[in-house]
Chains A and B, each alone.
Chain A
């Protein structure tokens, strides 16, 4: 009985080993030729907050593709959203003496001691998507929310032929996302599209229910609304619901984030557009910046990652 169980276990183990095989070719070559043999070889360590979220999986894939292009080695570790595990992972990468660390922190503060450790070990650190509140960072690579706001404004402007009354639903006041997205949106309107008038601007806290409620009130107050920009998709979806319930048509809605529900709404024609982050591009840029820096080129403190617009024409 027990012997049989043992065989079963060994069988499973063999199976797993087999399953691992396609992913390991990089490792044997790497371990057989340690850094000493190839002093020029660049090894990047990428610490991700989680791999349980499609956004970060895509980010990782973008980084891997870029690493292959540049001919550098990329080691990916996953903190599973646990700051303690993140600390251990980064320590291990420091032990491996990676050439540079690309960190997507689980938390802006908890990552600081790990970054300082890397600083002490002389390993340059880049942060990705989420910033850190301390330590020396070569560069922060993240989506450009200001550009995203401009993108939304430009789209609305075109769709309304430069003239009309628009509403802005804001995110939680004080968050960087709300601030930057709003800034980009309003700056563009002021500079490029003065014909669009913002008739109402209210926070709805990134929340769908709040978005619905806030927009219901605005609908009551404003007999004419031509366009809506919300700082995220949740709020815009709430607003669409409110407009449908009130029987108001002809409003052009623009959201932000391209979450699944929003993409579906774009397909259905209810949502005109949503601004999408590009995690793959973020991963690619992170690797590119690290390689540039290691080859002695100068790298900006902040690398904005371009955003893209999902509309009925571009949606897959």
Chain B
């Protein structure tokens, strides 16, 4: 196969509390399309960011065309010929197609002025070569996503990129657009360009990749020619973790439905979503990133409008048009990104806990530290938030205790329905177990819980029932007893296994 274009050897990277990568090795050859797969948190993004020069590695070596290199920053990576096409594209929306393509290397006239005609001609040539039908004069902000992605690829190639790293490039594309993208990638492959292709959709990897590398929990599980593995074998390698985290489930679901959702649809996002949650029940919502789980949660909580569908709470049809409506109806949403969406990091624990319940705590609009302490202390005790000091700024708490603070805030409002989006993301193992125990206790107290999680062990361990979403639809429902990692993943990825349930 000749000399690899890029060889990363023994790459390790630790973040506080997590070993994101542990001695991972990756080789990519010219003219190869290389698939990179793994569950959420397996270390794919970390690996890409190291290769792109966005973050430094802790250990390991990188060779580019046989030479050892230190990739200092993203600009250096680009100069070497490594281009990353992120999910959020790096194009300037206020510039035109031609300006974006040639930014930083604009053609100039003899007088040092911009040669606008040459610029358009060059842009047109670049686009034409890749068979892209884009107007060089069009402002990029007005282009649809798929065209922008193509434009970004075009720019990378026109800068002589030898390795394209594509992070979930198909997640926002339609089938036809994916088809075009694959045609383009095959074309590039024929020209000797290497592609590192990260995708959750195994069928795509099997369609386009030559070889596949599997990561799990920061470890390199293996690299195989695509012809030598089957999708189910890949899934097994991705999941194959021991179920070491033990869930003790004590709550049993009641029979009375608290939340009923019928045919909830938001065009272009999710379709015909129907389910119910009973008193004391924990329902797990599983699926790949981009399957529409968070969007369903947002819609239920009134953050996004819906086009169709009916929501009933304790048998009564309700309309939820804003988070305030949802809160009044006894719903609580614990969002996935607690730092950005839930916590006031610089504010004290007591303020974070009480902020949604202030009208109740201070009916006349007057607050005092003592009152806030009195209101927050029972919660702090109840949820065992440590250190149990109401005055401590929340940013000094650990991830698990921060999450408990968010939960405490909502519990003060005594919700009937809790929606928890990735409740244990970024939390260490011990704290995870605590959060799970807390969820179990809440269920025992009669709350209905909808939990979105990308961690299969969590989904399998704590849910009474599991709903699996794929591409905006609920594609399966598994009872606790019949759910296995394989079956959930198969449903989530679609079409690879015999359909369960």
Direct contact of A and B (CB under 8 A): no
Which residues of A are in contact with B by a Cβ distance under 8 Å? none
Which residues of B are in contact with A by a Cβ distance under 8 Å? none
